[in-house]
């Protein structure tokens, strides 16, 4: 006569149910992570049912429970692992790691941004945040922004849904303030999620512009400029001027000038002698440099920039 030991049936049923769960996850494309987290309470239910059945069908007047120690130990391990995974999942770490595993490096379009510029607005101030930007002059009467962003994201996930997610704007007096936000970055253990934007900003040519670069790369294309611009704190400033422009560039505290070199007037810092005016060469910190097209009616001031690259568009 076989002796029924509590735990033997529970171990068999647990392995059977776990196998069914795994097969279904493969055939039906179910989320295996969620299944592994949610299936483990079945172990306790099966073990409880087995004990009740033993007590119910036992022919002994005072039933004495006999346990299959090895099976109970194995079931206990499965249950402990399940409880541990559930506790970790409740902190959100499992979801983040799972989401990170499903992410790919994708490029998305930025939602278009437009801000009407009223007659009262005489100046636009742009803070680039930690983004490389392109700024162009426009004959339109509004400030607009578009472009792309690249980020680690899920297949149907977008980090930026509306323009408010990446730019904030405020009008104070005669000034429109624009601040470009950073894409959210996060790290879960060894999994880093990061993104970067490449926005293009169109600014009315007849409005003064001030750009705070936060030591990022900036490209400017003034076109037919009808107001003064200033660019501060750029790591690399790429200036593209049309050949028939009427513009004067005034740069101070810059390290290097590349690209179109002819026509620059350079004044460099000197330790041992008084400052003198030089034609361009490639040594020494530049205290002040000027470049002019036409009469230089409009001025672009460049301050605290590592490198200035000038290109004349014919």
DSSP letter string over the chain?
-PPP-BTHHHHHHHHHHHHHHHHHHHHHT--HHHHHHHHTHHHHHHHHHHHHHHHHH--SSS----B-HHHHHHHHHHHHHHHHHHHHHHTTHHHHHHHHHT-EEEEEEPPPEEEE--TT--EEEEE-TT--EEEEEESSSEEEEEEEEEEEE-TT--S--SGGGTEEEEEETTEEEEEEPPPP-EEETTEEE-EEEEEEEEEETTSEEEEEEEEEEEEEE-SS--S-EEEEEEEEEEEEEETT--EEEEEEEEEEEEE--TT-EEEE--SSS---EE---S-S-EEEEEEEETT--EEEEEEEEEEEEEEEE-
Looking at residue 284, what is its pLDDT? 60
Looking at residue 1, what is its pLDDT? 44
Looking at residue 62, what is its pLDDT? 62
Task: Enter the tokens of residue 64.
Answer: 């004495």
| Distances, alpha carbon 245 to alpha carbons 199, 209, 226, in Å | 25, 17, 10
Ordered mean pLDDT values, 10 residues apiece, the chain (314 residues)? 60 72 69 61 72 69 61 68 65 60 75 92 93 93 93 71 92 94 65 75 95 93 92 95 93 89 80 45 73 94 93 89
């Amino acid at each position: 006569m076989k002796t029924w030991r509590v735990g033997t049936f529970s171990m068999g049923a647990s392995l059977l149910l776990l196998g069914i769960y795994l097969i279904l996850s493969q055939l039906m494309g179910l989320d295996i992570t969620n299944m592994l987290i949610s299936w483990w309470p079945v172990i306790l239910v099966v073990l409880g049912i087995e004990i009740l059945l033993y007590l119910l069908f036992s022919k002994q007047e005072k039933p004495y429970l006999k346990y299959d120690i090895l099976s109970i130990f194995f079931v206990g391990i499965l249950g402990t692992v399940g409880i541990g995974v559930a506790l970790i999942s409740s902190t959100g770490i499992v979801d983040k790691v799972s989401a990170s595993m499903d992410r790919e490096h994708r490029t998305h379009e930025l939602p278009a941004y437009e801000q009407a510029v009223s007659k009262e607005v005489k100046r636009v101030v742009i803070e680039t945040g930690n983004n490389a930007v392109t700024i162009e002059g426009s004959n339109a009467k509004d400030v607009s922004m578009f472009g792309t962003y690249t980020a680690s994201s899920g297949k149907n996930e977008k980090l930026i849904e509306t323009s408010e997610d990446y730019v904030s704007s405020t009008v104070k007096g005669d000034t429109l303030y624009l601040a470009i936000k950073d894409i959210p970055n996060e790290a879960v253990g060894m999994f880093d999620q990061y993104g970067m934007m490449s926005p293009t900003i169109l600014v009315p040519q007849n409005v003064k512009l001030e750009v705070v670069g936060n030591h990022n790369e900036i490209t400017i294309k003034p076109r037919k400029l009808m107001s003064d611009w200033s660019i501060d704190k750029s790591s690399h400033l790429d200036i593209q001027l049309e050949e028939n422009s009427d513009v004067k560039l005034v740069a101070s505290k810059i390290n290097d000038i590349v690209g179109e070199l002819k026509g620059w007037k350079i004044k460099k810092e000197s330790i041992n002698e008084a400052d003198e005016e030089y034609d361009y060469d490639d040594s020494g910190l530049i205290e002040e440099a000027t470049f002019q097209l036409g009469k230089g009616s409009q001025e672009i001031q460049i301050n605290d920039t590592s490198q200035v690259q000038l290109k004349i568009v014919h």
